[in-house]
Structure 1
Amino acid sequence: MDTTAIDKALISIIEKRIQLNGLTYEDESYDDIEDELHELEDDFIDEHGEALEDIIGDVHEEFSVDTDVLSPLSYIAQEYVKIGDNELGAQFDANHAQGVPVEVDDLEKKPTRLVIIPNPLRIILNLDSKNRKIVWQQK
C-alpha cells in the first residue's frame, strides 16, 4: 500500500473541501469546485478505497466497534485545521467533534468518533471532547 499516494490524495480532497466551504452557493464557481471535489473523491475511492476499508475494518475489530465499516470517504472530517507543512505538503488536524460516530464496547458511555487525518496518515479515535487515541498510523 502506497501511503504517500493516499496522503497526497487525501490532502487534495481536504484542500478542495476547504476551498468549497469558503464559497456561497451563489458564487459562480461553486458548482465547478463541487464537481472537482466529487471527481477527487471518486478517484480516491477507486485507487485507495479497498485498502482503507481493510484498515478501517481492522480498527473496528481491534477496538470491538459495533457499527458497520463505512466508505472511507465517511471518515474524512468535514473540517480540518492546517497546522503546518512538511515535504509532503500541508499538515492537518481535526477537532474532537469530527469523524464517524462509532460504538466501542469498552467505551459505551463516551461519544467516540473515528476520523482519518493525513500527513502522516493515521486514524484517530476521538474518545470525547478532550481525549483521543491514534488507533492506526502509517509505518
Structure 2
Amino acid sequence: MDTTAIDKALIAIIEKRQQLNALTYEDESYDDIEDELHELEDDFIDEYGETLEDLLGDVHEEYKVDTEVLSPLSYIAQEYVDTGANELGKQFDCNHGQGVPVEVDELESKPTRLVIIPNPLRVILNVDSKNRKIVWQNEA
C-alpha cells in the first residue's frame, strides 16, 4: 500500500474541502471549487477505494464493529485542525466528534466514531469526547 500517495490525495481533498467551506454559495467560484472537490474524491476512490475498504474492513473485524464498512470518503472528517507540517505536507488532527458513527461491542454505551487522518496515515476510533485510540496506522 502506497501510504504516501494516499496521504497526498487525502490532504488534497481536505484542503479543497476547507477552501469550499470558506466560501458562500453566492461566491462565483463555489461551483468550480465544488466540481474540483468531486473530481478529487472520484479519483481518490478510483485509485485507493478498494485498498482502504479492505483496511477499514479489517479494523471493523478486529474491533468487532457492528456497522457496515462505508465508502472511505465517509471516514474523512468534516473538519480537520492543521497541526504542523513535515516533508509530505500539512499534518492534521480532528476533534473527537468527527468520523463515522459505529457500534463497537465492547463500548456499547459510548458514542464511538471511526475517522481517517492523514500524514501519517492512520485510523482513529474516537470513543467519546475525551478518549480515542489509534486502531490502524502506517508502520513505515
TM-score with structure 2 setting the length: 0.99
1:48 Cα deviation from its structure 2 partner: 0.3
| Structure 1: gaps (5+ residues) | none
| Structure 2: gaps (5+ residues) | none
Determine if the alignment matches structure 1 residue 105 to structure 2 residue 110. no
What SS does structure 1 have at the residue aligned with 2:24? coil
Q: 2: CA distance between counterparts of 1:18 and 1:75? A: 16
Determine if the alignment matches structure 1 residue 37 to structure 2 residue 32. no
Q: 2: CA distance between counterparts of 1:37 and 1:78? A: 13
- The amino acid that maps onto 2:63 is F
2:127 matched to which residue of 1?
127
Determine if the alignment matches structure 1 residue 10 to structure 2 residue 10. yes
2:96 matched to which residue of 1?
96
After TM superposition, the runs of 4+ consecutive aligned structure 1 residues lying more than 4 A away are none
Within 5 Å, give how 1:12-91 maps onto structure 2: 12-91=12-91
1:53 Cα deviation from its structure 2 partner: 0.2
Q: 2: CA distance between counterparts of 1:121 and 1:138? A: 6
Q: 1: CA distance between counterparts of 2:4 and 2:48? A: 11
Q: 2: CA distance between counterparts of 1:24 and 1:92? A: 24
Q: 2: CA distance between counterparts of 1:26 and 1:123? A: 35
Q: 1: CA distance between counterparts of 2:95 and 2:4? A: 23
What are the Cα deviations for residues 1-60 of structure 1, in whole angstroms up to 9, with x where unaligned? 100000000000000000000000000000000000000000000000000000000000
What SS does structure 1 have at the residue aligned with 2:53? helix
1:117 Cα deviation from its structure 2 partner: 0.1
Report % sequence identity: 84
What SS does structure 2 have at the residue aligned with 1:124? strand
Q: 1: CA distance between counterparts of 2:42 and 2:80? A: 20
TM-score with structure 1 setting the length: 1.00
